[in-house]
Amino acid sequence: MLKFASILIIALLLVGCTEPITPDPDPKPEPNKEELFKDPQGRNVASPVIIPFVYVNPIEIINTSDTRIAKVEIRGLKNKVIENKINQEITDKFETLKNYRNASNLPPYRGIYARIPSETIALDYSVYSYVSYNYNNVLSITFNGYYNFNIQGTTEYVTVSDSLNYDLTTGNQLTVSDLLTNDANTKQALSDPLSVIIKKSMDSTDVFYWDRYPLDLVSPFKGIKGNQAFYLTNSGIIFIFDYRNPEFNSQFNTIPLNVKFSQLIPYIAFTERFKTDQDIYEQPIRQAEFLDLSENMMREKNETVNYRGIKIYISEFVSADVPQFYLDQLPELLPLIYELIDENLDEFSFTDAYGSVNADIIGEYVSLSMYYTIYTDQIVYQELSITYNAKGEILTLDDLFVKDYNYRDVLWAQLLDTYPGYSSRDKESILNSIIFSIYHSGLNFSVKIPPTETSPTQNIGLFVPYIIFGMENLTLFGYE
């Protein structure tokens, strides 16, 4: 009997131990449907993608502004249904941000109503929007709102950013799925560089660099979602992290994390995805430019050197993408500055000198420039600029323009428009002194103005956008 009782007690204990309990929550809950990555729109694009240059969409950007607002509107699409749809969505987004001046409409930032009662009206506010990207049938518009709330003498600031990104051929809004090639792992390709930025930002107290930000990470970053807010620029994708990203405590602000295009090559697809043979604009395409695809300033260097009691400040801004071969073609900077000082030491009294080296990749071209000067009662200045094409050949000014195009008259007109006081000077002498550099949106020129009886030699700079010449007159964009 005792033995039976013991067995019964053990059996009851086992039953108690194995009695079903309420199950744990699903460790991998189904994501919100809006957070899923959608299928890419537009054409299928496979890697690698090469982007020699992009065409500027020939639409008119109409800006309306006053002391508190700056709003954009577009004109110039043939399809007015699409144009009106885009403008209405711009208006709706703009009005949403304007309404945030009433605290009851503010986005659900963590703990916001504990510090800003919902009935509060902003003491001051401003809302502005601008076009941040407008190439190859893609349009990106950025919205920013700034709000100042006074709570019993204490000021609380709120910032909100948002965006609209469009395929102008359909009027559809873009998602992150449309940014990269169809064969790319979009989530990983975009989240990996963001993770690096976040780690740098968390590990460093110095947050005033392009690759780090003041962040407060309250839970692990698990990558971007399919509905991640973003906008485009000519150098990268800015991802907007705010109340929609609970892993960050953004303190009623927006955190813009910049993934540069150089980190996404060769998977960038939105420049090619929405190209079409259809003529969708009221005006023809007249302008082409270059995107900034290089790794900027990764070899930045600053130093100070003393020579004959003169402080020489040296700066180098060299893209990490520029092969060392090209940099080796430049003369050494310091000996040139020493020589310039020695040549002028008997005539002038110097205190400082400055020199800089810049190297970047613009499309398929390598652009090198060197500038050095010494400061006295006048500036003694020297400059060198070299541009290489894809074959490694040095380009002359004539090489930039198609045959029989009279670029010299265009340049002279631009120079006089900027510096009308030189109209009586020797045109040919000035134009023959031109040094040029290519930039993303235009050509930069440096010219020498010969001395006169009353003035010494002068060096002046002139920037001319590509549209002034017309893309059809520039070999940079494939014309001959």
Using alpha carbons only, give the angle 291, 358, 470 rounded to the nearest 5 degrees: 40
As a whole number, the mean pLDDT across the chain is: 88
Check residue 27 and give its pLDDT.
Answer: 52
Mean pLDDT of 20-40: 67
Check residue 451 and give its pLDDT.
Answer: 77
Give the pLDDT band of residue 359 (cuts 50, 70, 90). very high
Mean pLDDT of 442-458: 84
Query: Greater confidence, 422 or 104?
Result: 104
Asked whether the predicted pLDDT for residue 477 surpasses 70, the reply is: yes
Give the pLDDT band of residue 471 (cuts 50, 70, 90). very high
Give the pLDDT band of residue 9 (cuts 50, 70, 90). very low
Give the pLDDT band of residue 138 (cuts 50, 70, 90). very high
Give the pLDDT band of residue 102 (cuts 50, 70, 90). very high
As a whole number of Å, the CA-based R_g of the chain is: 30
User: CB within 8 A of 163, min separation 6: which ones?
Assistant: 140, 141, 142, 143, 229, 230, 231, 240
CATH class of 295-392: alpha beta
Check residue 218 and give its pLDDT.
Answer: 83
Asked whether the predicted pLDDT for residue 15 surpasses 70, the reply is: no
Check residue 298 and give its pLDDT.
Answer: 58
Cα–Cα distance measured from residue 116 to residue 147, given in angstroms and rounded to the nearest whole number: 11
Check residue 8 and give its pLDDT.
Answer: 38
Q: What are phi and psi of 312, to 5 degrees?
A: -115, 120
Check residue 297 and give its pLDDT.
Answer: 55
Q: With contact defined as beta carbons under 8 Å apart, do 457 and 449 qualify?
A: yes
Cα–Cα distance measured from residue 131 to residue 164, given in angstroms and rounded to the nearest whole number: 10
Q: What percentage of the chain reaches a pLDDT higher than 70?
A: 90
Mean pLDDT of 259-287: 95
Q: How far is CA 101 from CA 98, 110, 221, in A?
A: 6, 18, 31
Q: What is the largest CA-CA distance in the chain?
A: 130
Asked whether the predicted pLDDT for residue 118 surpasses 90, the reply is: yes
Mean pLDDT of 16-35: 55
Burial track 248-279 (b if 16+ CB lie within 10 A, e otherwise)? bbbebbbbbbbbbbbbbbebbbbbbbbeeeee
Q: What percentage of the chain reaches a pLDDT higher than 90?
A: 66
Cα–Cα distance measured from residue 96 to residue 91, given in angstroms and rounded to the nearest whole number: 9
Query: Greater confidence, 27 or 354?
Result: 354
- Global pTM? 0.87
Mean pLDDT of 345-353: 82
Check residue 248 and give its pLDDT.
Answer: 83
Side-chain-side CA neighbours of residue 401 (13 Å): 17
Interval 219-243: pLDDT, tens: 889 999 999 999 999 999 999 999 8
Check residue 345 and give its pLDDT.
Answer: 83
Asked whether the predicted pLDDT for residue 6 surpasses 80, the reply is: no
Per-domain residue ranges of the chain: 34-289, 295-392, 396-480
Nearest alpha carbon to residue 289 among 49, 51, 55, 50: 55
Interval 174-222: pLDDT, tens: 999 999 999 999 999 999 999 988 888 777 665 555 555 667 788 889 9
Q: With contact defined as beta carbons under 8 Å apart, do 477 and 389 qualify?
A: no
Answer whether the bond into residue 117 is a cis peptide, omega within 30°.
no
